[in-house]
């Protein structure tokens, strides 16, 4: 999939972000870890001209998550056991988190640097979440993607349930097992990300933004939702949990849209076009124009509008970032995470 988690399409930091961050961590161990052994209009915001329809329908997904998460946090504040704590050896967990750290450092270099600005416990949790998401993405985008079957995705979903039941299947899953227990994470965004992988195996065109938005929720918005309980909400904030989850969702959607625009060529080489077909047609563009990689005036105009829309989602996310726990806020408001 053209995703937040795609690696081949990504320039290294040295190439794309200037020398200041030229961190070249070529870590083959981290790469080998990814081989999974499974049988085969807000007032101040100018709305973009392009449609944002699809948002309302998809946002139903997060109501349940925000409500459930608030409940979980209240329960744990009161000392109730929300979920039984898994018994995992401390040294084993240190190793598990270290492996997740290496995966994050290897595949999401800038994001990783942002995680270093968080507290130690939060860093580890974000690495564990990232490693799981990366492995999930690899199922449909990695070297074995050609043979991924619905049954393999079913098995991955069972493993996810095992993680949430406190019974990890391998060391990387153990890190996430620890994280979901410590931070009371909800399983739904994780399940939804797997749904996105299923979508990727079934679909290689998106008729309109409504369809694309749903995909972006699955592939990127879910990461925002997974991140909120880890980042924590400001206890003094009067904002609703729902509005903070919404902001995180929009950050994930904006990031996903950005990656789609960045990876058009890479995706086209796999026969995939994640751009809305009706919007391409509006600009007189056809699939062949994408495959031929010609940068025409029509293409430039089309891209400008798509960029405006991605920015719109970042803008929507901004307010929510200031409602995060003080210790987590800075890298998000400064757009490092
Ligand atoms: C706004 C509020 C309320 C919360 C924010 C909660 C957070 C931190 C959400 C993060 C959502 C997000 C954008 C996740 C993306 C994570 C990811 C896979 C980053 C990798 O980015 P790439 O662009 O692929 O890689 P680089 O880091 O190398 O640029």
pLDDT tens, 36-55?
544 334 433 444 555 665 66
Write the pLDDT tens digit of every residue in 249-263: 999 999 999 999 999
Check whether 224 has a pLDDT greater than 90: yes
The angle subtended at Cα 127 by Cα 8 and Cα 229, nearest 5°, is 125
Measured from the CB, is residue 66 less than 6 Å from ligand 1?
Answer: no
Listed as own residue / partner, the contacts of 151-156 with beta carbons closer than 8 Å and 24 or more positions apart are: 151/39, 151/40, 152/38, 152/39, 152/40, 153/194, 153/197, 153/198, 153/201, 155/38, 155/39, 156/36, 156/38, 156/194
As a whole number of Å, the end-to-end CA separation of the chain is 22
Q: How confident is the model at residue 19 (pLDDT cuts 50, 70, 90)?
A: very low
123 Cβ below 6 A of ligand 1: no
Task: Reduce the DSSP state of residue 10 to 3 states and report it.
Answer: coil
Q: What is the pLDDT of residue 80?
A: 44
Could you tell me if the CB of 233 is within 6 A of ligand 1? no
CA of 258, closest atom in ligand 1: 23
What mean pLDDT is predicted for residues 130-151? 89
* Å from CA of 252 to ligand 1 middle: 7
pLDDT value of position 42: 43
The residue written with tokens 């870890």 in the block is: 33
**Pocket flag, ligand 1, residue 321 (CB < 6 Å):** yes
Q: What is the pTM of this model?
A: 0.84
Q: Is 35 exposed, middle or buried (0-12, 13-18, 19+ CB in 10 A)?
A: exposed
Q: Give me the half-sphere count of Cα atoms (radius 13 Å) on the Cβ side of residue 254.
A: 21
- Judge if the beta carbon of residue 252 lies within 6 A of ligand 1: yes
What is the predicted pLDDT for the residue at 87? 86
| Best residue among 255, 320, 326 to mutate for probing ligand 1, ranked by most atoms within 8 Å of CB | 255
Please give the distance, rounded to the nearest whole angstrom, from the Cα atom of residue 320 to the centre of ligand 1. Answer: 15
Q: What is the pLDDT of residues 163-218, one digit of tens each?
A: 999 999 999 999 999 999 999 999 999 999 999 999 999 999 999 999 999 999 99
Classified as helix, coil or strand, 332 is helix
- Cα atoms in the 13 Å half-sphere on the side-chain side of 273: 20
Task: Give percent of the chain above pLDDT 90.
Answer: 69
What is the 229 CA–ligand 1 centroid distance (Å)?
15
pLDDT tens per residue across span 119-138: 999 999 999 999 999 999 99
CB of 332 sitting under 6 A from ligand 1: yes
**Among the atoms of ligand 1, which is closest to the Cα of residue 109?**
28
> Once rounded to an integer, what is the mean pLDDT over residues 288-295?
96
What spacing in Å lies between the alpha carbon of 189 and ligand 1's midpoint? 15
Instruction: Please indicate whether residue 260, judged by its CB atom, sits closer than 6 Å to ligand 1.
Output: no
Beta-bridge mates of residue 276: 206
Question: Mutate which of 223, 317, 318 to test ligand 1's pocket (most atoms within 8 Å of Cβ)?
Answer: 223
Per-residue pLDDT tens for 50-97? 566 566 555 555 666 666 666 666 555 544 445 668 889 999 999 999
Report DSSP state, residue 239: S
> What is the C-alpha to C-alpha distance for residues 208 and 278, in angstroms, rounded to an integer?
6
**What does 85-109 look like in DSSP terms, one character per residue?**
PP---HHHHHHHHHHHHHHHHHH-H
Sequence-distant contacts of 144-149: CB under 8 A, at least 24 apart: 144/35, 147/40, 148/201, 149/40
**Cβ–Cβ under 8 Å, residues 279 and 257:** no
Residue 337 CB less than 6 A away from ligand 1:
yes
Q: What is the number of the ligand 1 atom nearest to the C-alpha of 254?
A: 13
Strand partners, 324: 233
Question: Does ligand 1 lie within 6 Å of residue 317's CB atom?
Answer: yes
Q: Identify the sign of the CA torsion 212, 336, 315, 225.
A: positive
3-class state of residue 202 by DSSP: helix
ipTM: 0.94
Q: In this predicted structure, what is the pLDDT of residue 192? A: 96
């Amino acid at each position: 999939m053209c995703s937040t988690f795609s690696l081949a399409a990504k320039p290294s930091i040295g190439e794309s972000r200037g020398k200041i961050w030229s961190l070249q961590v070529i870590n083959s161990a981290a790469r080998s870890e990814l081989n999974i052994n499974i049988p085969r209009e807000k007032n101040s915001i100018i709305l973009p001209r392009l449609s944002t329809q699809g948002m309302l329908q998809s946002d139903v997904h997060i109501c349940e998550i925000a409500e459930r998460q608030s409940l979980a946090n209240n329960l744990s504040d009161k000392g109730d056991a929300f979920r039984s704590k898994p018994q995992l050896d401390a040294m084993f967990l240190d190793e598990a988190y270290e492996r997740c750290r290496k995966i994050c450092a290897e595949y999401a270099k800038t994001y990783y640097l942002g995680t270093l600005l968080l507290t130690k416990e939060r860093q580890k949790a974000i690495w564990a979440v990232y490693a799981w998401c990366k492995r999930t993405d690899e199922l449909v985008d990695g070297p074995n993607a050609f043979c991924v079957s619905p049954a393999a995705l079913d098995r991955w979903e069972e493993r996810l349930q095992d993680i949430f039941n406190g019974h990890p299947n391998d060391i990387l899953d153990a890190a996430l097992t620890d994280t979901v227990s410590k931070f009371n994470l909800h399983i739904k965004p994780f399940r939804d990300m797997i749904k996105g992988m299923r979508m990727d195996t079934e679909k290689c065109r998106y008729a309109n933004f409504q369809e694309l938005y749903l995909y972006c929720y699955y592939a990127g918005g879910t990461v925002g939702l997974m991140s909120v309980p880890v980042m924590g909400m400001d206890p003094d904030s009067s904002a609703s949990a729902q509005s903070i989850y919404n902001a995180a969702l929009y950050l994930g959607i904006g990031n996903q849209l950005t990656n789609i625009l960045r990876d058009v060529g890479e995706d086209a080489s796999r026969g995939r076009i994640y751009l809305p077909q009706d919007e391409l047609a509006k600009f007189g563009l056809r699939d062949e124009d994408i495959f031929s990689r010609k940068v025409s005036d029509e293409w430039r105009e089309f891209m400008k509008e798509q960029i405006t829309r991605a920015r719109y989602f970042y803008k929507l996310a901004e307010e929510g970032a200031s409602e995060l726990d003080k210790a987590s806020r800075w890298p998000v408001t400064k757009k490092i995470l």
